[in-house]
A and B are shown apart, each in its own frame.
Chain A
């Protein structure tokens, strides 16, 4: 039973438009959420994160929104650029459970020029 789910395996967006990647979780004990970006033949790299005490965190073109009541978070990329084309993983952690990360299945984002 996956505790973190990314229901869209892929997303295609035009350059300059907004990309919205979604993530749902089932475990209400998760208290920290992270997004990782992965290019082919490379390991994931950290992108942005949010604590459960916040509902929004912004870093340049990237914003993560957290809706705790809906157990849902989203990553917004504005404006999208071709270099953003990658697989994006949502991950969650619980500080009372060894700080391990639980990952979603990933969403492949394709930004068309």
Chain B
């Protein structure tokens, strides 16, 4: 099993450009999440999905859109990139229910995005 994979691994954008980050999981997880990690800030939840066709806002959703057309994929879109969106983006997935030692979130390796 590949677990959680993210595409691309690195990307450099100019201000105003758009892009889509792809997350795929092969663990048949219902829940999927997008986080961003900034120095000293830990990981902050951008958007999440509790099932195919559903999405919800997290802590820092502004400037991002998401789609979950298939259970195994979760897409994160930036319509008009800004330098403040320079960050490392992590996707995660889990089974339904509260996080616990029996229901951990599995993370992908991350996408490093730089917006100039």
Contacts and interface: CB of A to CB of B under 8 A. Distances in A.
Interface of A: 2, 4, 6, 9, 32, 34, 41-46, 48-49, 51, 89, 91, 93, 95, 98-106
Given A44-B90, A89-B43, A103-B42, A49 B109 contact: no
Contacts of B59: 100, 102
Given A41-B110, A98-B48, 16 more contacts: A2-B42, A41-B109, A43-B107, A43-B108, A45-B107, A46-B101, A48-B101, A89-B42, A91-B43, A93-B99, A99-B97, A100-B58, A103-B35, A103-B43, A104-B42, A106-B42
A12 B108 CA distance: 27
Nearest to B110: A43
16 contacts: A2-B42, A4-B42, A6-B42, A43-B110, A44-B90, A45-B107, A48-B101, A91-B99, A99-B98, A100-B45, A100-B58, A101-B43, A101-B99, A103-B35, A103-B43, A103-B44
Contacts of A99: 97-99
Interface of B: 4, 35, 40-45, 48, 56, 58-59, 90, 92, 97-101, 104-110
Contact of A43 (B41, B44, B92): B92
Contacts of A104: 42
B24 to A, nearest CB: 14
A47 to B, nearest CB: 9
B41 A105 contact: yes
A105 B38 CA distance: 9
